């Protein structure tokens, strides 16, 4: 692995690993297995041997559990694990450590419920999240990501 900049790590600087672009810091890569051309968001934590399929996307602040086989896009803030990877909840501890307020974490958990527990179709859930994002900016990351997802999302 090589850094693309010599300066101290800043969010937005990236490592280049055979076509993979990840933020330099503070992504933790522990025996990370990947396929080329994946997009990894800022502050993602990937446990040992987590794999992301080529052209997959992982949203900011997500946590990929040990041996997670990511075959679909992972929205921001999620905790996923399994083969294939499935959403297990919100990475609330990671968000707390990153300085998110308890209110923001509650808003993100409510957005997770809309997306995964409400029984709404993806288009309907995205519309509902867009409405929430007007007053809860942290929910906007879900909406932005869902608009860019190309491989469907983990469900």
For residue 81, list its beta bridge partners. 86
Confidence of residue 87 (pLDDT cuts 50, 70, 90): very high
Residue intervals of the chain classified under CATH 2.160.10.10 are: 14-92
Could you say which DSSP state residue 75 is in?
-
pLDDT in tens, 46-86: 888 888 888 889 999 999 998 999 999 999 999 999 999 99
Question: Is the distance from CB of 121 to CB of 129 less than 8 angstroms?
Answer: no
CATH, domain 94-148, list 3.20.20.80, 3.40.50.360, 1.20.1180.10, 2.60.40.10: 1.20.1180.10
Residue intervals of the chain classified under CATH 1.20.1180.10 are: 94-148
Predicted pLDDT of residue 140: 97
Pairing of strands 45-46, 28-29: parallel
Cα separation of 48 and 55, whole Å?
20
Which is nearest to 144 in space by CA: 117, 124, 120, 126? Answer: 126
Mean pLDDT calculated for residue range 19-38: 52
Q: Which of 38-47, 61-70, 95-104 has the lowest mean pLDDT?
A: 38-47
pLDDT in tens, 112-147: 999 999 999 999 999 999 999 999 999 999 999 999
Predicted pLDDT of residue 121: 96
Question: Is the distance from CB of 96 to CB of 105 less than 8 angstroms?
Answer: yes
CATH, domain 14-92, list 3.50.50.60, 3.40.50.1000, 3.10.580.10, 2.160.10.10: 2.160.10.10
| Position 33 pLDDT exceeds 50 | no
Question: Is the distance from CB of 43 to CB of 60 less than 8 angstroms?
Answer: yes
Q: How many residues does the chain have?
A: 155
Q: Which of 19-33, 34-48, 89-103 has the lowest mean pLDDT?
A: 19-33
pTM of the model as a whole: 0.79
């Amino acid at each position: 692995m090589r850094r693309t900049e010599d300066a101290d790590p800043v969010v937005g600087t990236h490592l280049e690993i055979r076509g993979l672009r990840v933020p330099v810091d503070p992504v933790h890569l522990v025996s990370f297995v990947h396929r080329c051309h994946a997009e990894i968001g800022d502050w993602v934590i990937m446990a040992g041997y987590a794999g992301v399929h080529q052209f997959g996307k992982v949203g900011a602040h997500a946590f990929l559990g040990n041996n997670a086989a990511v075959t679909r896009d992972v929205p921001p803030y999620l905790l996923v694990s399994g083969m294939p990877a499935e959403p297990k909840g919100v990475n609330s501890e990671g968000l707390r450590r990153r300085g998110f307020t308890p209110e923001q974490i509650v808003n993100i958990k409510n957005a997770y419920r809309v997306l995964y527990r409400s029984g709404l179709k993806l288009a309907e859930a995205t519309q509902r999240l867009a409405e929430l994002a007007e007053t809860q900016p942290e929910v906007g990351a879900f909406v932005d990501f869902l608009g860019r997802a190309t491989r469907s999302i983990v469900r």
